[in-house]
Amino acid sequence: MKVLLVAEYRQGRLAESTSELLGFADALGGDVSMALVGSPDQLPGFDGRLHFADAGIYGEYDSELHKRLLLQAVEAETPDLIVFMHSSYGWDLAPRISAALGVALLSGVAGMDGDGFTTRCCNGKMRRTVTAMTSPAVLTLLPGAFPSVQPEGVSPELHPMAASGVPVVEFIRYEPPSTGGIDLTRSDVIVCAGRGVGSREKVGLVRALADALGGEVGATRPVVDAGWLEHGRQIGSTGQSVSPGLYVACGVSGAIQHLAGMKGSGFVIALNTDRDAPIVEVADLLVVADLEEFLPLLTAKLGS
Amino acid sequence: MNILVCIKQVPDMEASFVPNRGGTWFDETALSFRMNDYDEFAIEAAVRIKEQLGGTPEVTALSIGPGRVVEVIRKAMAMGCDRGVHLRDEEAASLDPWQIASMISGYASTGGFDLIFTGMQSVDRGSAQVGVLVAERLAIACVTTAVGFSYMAGRATVERELEGGAKVVVSCALPLLVTCQLGLNTPRYPTLPGILRAKKKEIVELSPGQAGMEKPLTRVSGFSHHVSRPSGVVLEGRLDELAGRVAAVLREKRDAIRRGGVR
Ligand SMILES: Cc1cc2nc3c(=O)[nH]c(=O)nc-3n(C[C@H](O)[C@H](O)[C@H](O)COP(=O)(O)OP(=O)(O)OC[C@H]3O[C@@H](n4cnc5c(N)ncnc54)[C@H](O)[C@@H]3O)c2cc1C
Q: Is residue A176 part of a domain?
A: no
pLDDT in tens, A81-108: 999 999 999 999 999 999 999 999 999 9
Q: Which domain holds residue B126?
A: 2-211
Separation CA B31–CA B226 (nearest Å) = 19
What's the domain count of chain A?
Answer: 2
- Tell me if the pTM is above 0.90: yes
pLDDT of residue B43: 98
What's the domain count of chain B?
Answer: 2
- B204 plus B164 within the same structural domain: yes
Q: Is residue B119 part of a domain?
A: yes
User: How many angstroms is it from A217 CA to the middle of ligand 1?
Assistant: 15
Residue A10: closest CA among chain B residues belongs to which residue? Answer: B162
Q: Do B263 and A245 touch (CB under 8 A)?
A: yes
pLDDT of residue B228: 58
Q: Whose CA is closest to A31, among A90, A79, A103?
A: A79
Query: Which of A185, A221, A237 has most ligand 1 atoms within 8 Å of its beta carbon, as the pocket-test mutant?
Result: A221
Q: Is residue B218 part of a domain?
A: no
- B133 plus B240 within the same structural domain: no
Separation CA B108–CA A1 (nearest Å) = 38
Separation CA A234–CA A227 (nearest Å) = 11
Ligand 1 atom nearest the C-alpha of A237 is 8
- B240 plus B193 within the same structural domain: no
Q: Is residue B14 part of a domain?
A: yes
* Ligand 1 pocket by Cβ (under 6 Å): A 123, 194-196, 198, 220-223, 234-239, 251-253, 255, 257-258, 261, 271-274, 277, 290-292; B 13-14, 120-121, 182
- Contact (Cβ atoms closer than 8 angstroms) between residue B133 and residue A98: yes
pLDDT in tens, B178-190: 999 999 999 999 9
Q: Is residue A251 part of a domain?
A: yes
- B171 plus B88 within the same structural domain: yes
- Mean pLDDT across the stretch A35-57? 96
- B244 plus B203 within the same structural domain: no
Q: Is residue B73 part of a domain?
A: yes
Rounded to a whole number of angstroms, the distance from the CA of B150 to the nearest CA of chain A is 14
What residue type is assigned to position B158 of the chain?
V
pLDDT in tens, A177-233: 988 889 999 999 999 999 999 999 999 999 999 999 999 999 999 999 999 999 999
- A204 plus A156 within the same structural domain: no
The neighbour count for residue B241, using CB atoms within 10 Å, is: 11
- Total number of residues shown for chain B: 263
Query: Which of A225, A273, A282, A293 has most ligand 1 atoms within 8 Å of its beta carbon, as the pocket-test mutant?
Result: A273
B124 pLDDT more than 50 = yes
- B154 plus B107 within the same structural domain: yes
Q: Do B254 and A214 touch (CB under 8 A)?
A: yes
pLDDT of residue B263: 46
- B134 plus B260 within the same structural domain: no
Say yes or no: A105 contacts chain B, CB-CB below 8 A: yes
What residue type is assigned to position A122 of the chain?
C
Helix (H, G, I), strand (E, B) or coil at B60: strand
Cβ under 8 Å to B: A residues 157-186: 168-179
Q: Encode B134-159: b = buried (16+ Cβ within 10 Å), e = exposed.
A: bbbbbebbbbbbbbbbebeeeebbbb
- B143 plus B49 within the same structural domain: yes
- A33 plus A138 within the same structural domain: yes
Q: Measured between CB atoms, which of A103, A118, A126 is closest to B217?
A: A103
Separation CA A49–CA A34 (nearest Å) = 6
Residues of B in contact with A65 (CB under 8 A): none
- B260 plus B173 within the same structural domain: no
Say yes or no: A190 contacts chain B, CB-CB below 8 A: no
- B170 plus B256 within the same structural domain: no
What's the distance, CA A72 to chain centroid?
Answer: 27
Q: Which domain holds residue A131?
A: 2-160
Cβ under 8 Å to B: A residues 16-55: none
pLDDT in tens, A283-301: 999 999 999 999 999 999 9
Q: Is residue B217 part of a domain?
A: no
CATH number where A215 lies: 3.40.50.1220
Q: Is residue A41 part of a domain?
A: yes
- B244 plus B133 within the same structural domain: no
Q: Is residue B219 part of a domain?
A: no
Say yes or no: A101 contacts chain B, CB-CB below 8 A: no
CATH number where B176 lies: 3.40.50.620
Q: Is residue A32 part of a domain?
A: yes
Q: Is residue B226 part of a domain?
A: no
Q: In what order do the strands lie in the sheet with A216-219?
A: A216-219, A189-193, A246-250, A267-272, A285-288, B233-235
ipTM of the complex model:
0.94
Burial class (CB in 10 A: 0-12, 13-18, 19+), A159: middle
CATH number where A60 lies: 3.40.50.620
